[in-house]
Amino acid sequence: MKSDAGSGADARYGDYAHRLREFTAFDNFSDAELELLARVAHHTSTSKPWPMIHEQTPADACYILLSGEARVYVGRDPVAVLGPGEVIGESVLRRGKLRSATVTTTGPAEVLRIERDDLARLLDVIPALRETMDATVARHAPTAAVQPAKPKPTRAKVNASAPADLVDRFEQAASSAGVTVAAALEDALVHWIERNGTAQS
């Protein structure tokens, strides 16, 4: 993993600002605001998967993905894939909460890292940054899909000349075994035929 350091980094700020301009999330930023953002942020690149955020750890920075791809995990379950232009980890950073997910790059990637204190100052001087982060939070907020109620399965009834209490006991036994009455009846009939069937002439 490599980070910008030394005077050579100054020559790249304009390039970072230009690359940010390519993303719709930064359409409302002026050129000066993008350059300020690029100067405050720390550029980091990686050639292999890199866990930039760990679940259940304190939030100390947020990230802007310049290139590559990042996968979001809750526990061991992947829940989302993020692409270039995404702002990552800004929500809990502003709320002062623990990270709610792990975010790992899937391969080669470049990110701009913005420290907590730097973000607070940037939000004061770049109103568009707050709007971008609010829009990101709204876009990533989980939505509870309303699932239609499943119709109750129809339960086959034993249609035979048998005592009602015996039928009830049979249906209860099938339910306790976790099978349908039809399946239980078929199984019972197969076994009865095997025991009592006669050879055909």
Residue 162 pLDDT = 62
Per-residue model confidence (pLDDT) at position 195: 73
Q: Is 167 exposed, middle or buried (0-12, 13-18, 19+ CB in 10 A)?
A: middle
Q: Specify the residue for token string 């990637």.
A: 109
CATH class for the domain made up of 9-138 = mainly beta
Name the residue with higher pLDDT: 94 or 186. Answer: 94
Q: What is the pLDDT of residue 136?
A: 81
Please report the pLDDT score of residue 155 as a whole number: 45
Q: What is the pLDDT of residues 35-62, one digit of tens each?
A: 999 999 999 999 999 999 999 999 999 9
Sketch the domain layout of the chain as residue ranges.
9-138, 162-194
| Residue closest to 131 by CA, chosen among 24, 18, 31, 5 | 24
Residue given tokens 């399965």 in the structure block = 153
- Over residues 82-121, the pLDDT tens digits come to 999 999 998 888 787 899 999 999 999 999 999 999 999 9
Which residues, at least 6 apart from 41, have a Cβ–Cβ distance to it below 8 Å? 16, 64, 112, 113, 114, 118
Contacts of 4 (CB under 8 A, 6+ apart): 12, 42, 43
> Residue 156: pLDDT above 70?
no
Residue 5, CA distances (Å) to 19, 50, 68, 114 in order? 19, 20, 22, 15
| Whether pLDDT at 147 is above 50 | no
Under DSSP, the state recorded for 184 is: H
User: In the prediction, which pLDDT does 183 show?
Assistant: 67
Asked if the model's pLDDT at residue 181 lies above 70, the reply is no
Task: Write down the H helix ranges in 108-163.
Answer: 116-125, 127-140
Task: At 178, give phi and psi (nearest 5°).
Answer: 80, 25
Query: What's the predicted TM-score (pTM) here?
Result: 0.65
- For all residues of the chain together, what is the average pLDDT? 80
pLDDT-based confidence at 152, cuts 50/70/90?
A: very low
